[in-house]
Amino acid sequence: MTIDEINAQYGKLPPQAIEVEEAVLGALMLERDAYVTVADIIDISSFYKEEHRKIFEAIKELSMHGKPVDLLMVTQELKNRDQLEEIGGAGYITQLTRRVASAAHIEFHARIIAQKFIQRELIRVSSEIQSKSYDDTIDVDDLIDFSESSLFRVAEKNIKKEIVPIKPVLNEAIIQIEKARNQKDGLSGVPSGFTAIDRITSGWQKTDLVVIAGRPSMGKTAFVLTMARNMAVEHNRPVAVFSLEMSSIQLVNRLIAAETELGSEKLKTGRLENYEWEHLNRKISTLEKASIFIDDTPALSIFEFKAKCRRLKMQHD
């Protein structure tokens, strides 16, 4: 459902800032480098009026090709696209440049436009969720996944990291170094429990993506599960294990086998001596207390994966 359809259905005017859009477009045509200031804040879709979208698209095209962005060049670009009359003619372009004296506040104004766009996107997503909620043919789990992924897409598309000077980053780095110095094991990250690896990595670090690769039946799963166990049991760190291949029962059986040092064949058949049952019950109590979470959903999408991780973070952090 489009914003216009939502407007017609509910009789409400979507969030917008037409005058601010005009001020930003006018400022972009006054100073050549103004586009660079707003390029990572707003895009074509950020504008509410279709005419403003076309004007901004022309400005963006000129800037990307290193051409001057001014009244004459924008007018000519729109004329080349056969869009000049659609946006109100050359007179409207002239009016935009008269609305502002300089581009001094263009970043602040651009953030207002971005905010209104996010509000409109949230309204659109909410309307789609509401519409699907009335459809009895849609599974409720699929609906929840759709809702979460749609909202996260809006957030990801509009949350951008700022460029920061080196000083605060240096301060953060020094804090991490001091923290590592105060650790008895000298590790700044999450220990894997494998001393040789931890010496090289100083523990698994935040923001790192670590790929464990190898041929089939080389022990990749056993290695990862052992690390998960070490982090959760020895270092009291919550660990989430997502398996697209093996079921949660298979993974837990492997954990039990490693923890109890009982053969996997014995665990499969259940042929254990009395003392082995006692040993098993004593050992698995350690795993019961561990913060290990297992998800064996097959064909898990990236959006579903992120949604589940966020949920785990909120519930168990």
Locate the domains of the chain by residue range. 3-158, 211-316
Total residue count of the chain as it appears in this document: 317
Question: What is the pLDDT confidence band of residue 276, given thresholds at 50, 70 and 90?
Answer: confident
CA separation for the pair 192, 185 (Å, rounded): 12
Averaged pLDDT for residues 287-311:
83
Residues 212, 216, 222, 225: is their CA dihedral positive or negative? Answer: positive
For domain 3-158, the CATH architecture is: Orthogonal Bundle (1.10)
Of 13-22, 43-52, 202-211, 222-231, the least confident: 202-211
CB pairs under 8 A, 24+ apart, for 257-262?
258/222, 258/225, 258/226, 258/229, 259/229, 259/283, 259/284, 259/286, 259/287, 260/284
Closest CA to 27 of 56, 50, 49: 56
Tokens representing 28 are 């972009």
pLDDT tens profile 111-164: 999 999 999 999 999 999 999 999 988 888 888 888 888 888 887 776 665 667
pTM above 0.85, yes or no: no
- CATH topology (fold) of 211-316: Rossmann fold (3.40.50)
The pair of structure tokens assigned to 270 is 């259940």
Q: What is the pLDDT of residues 184-242, one digit of tens each?
A: 776 778 888 888 888 888 888 888 888 989 898 888 988 999 999 999 988 889 999 99
Q: Greater confidence, 135 or 304?
A: 135
CB of 52 closer than 8 Å to CB of 22: yes
Q: Which of 259, 260, 244, 257 is nearest to 298 (CA)?
A: 244
**Confidence label for 5 from pLDDT (cuts 50, 70 and 90):** low
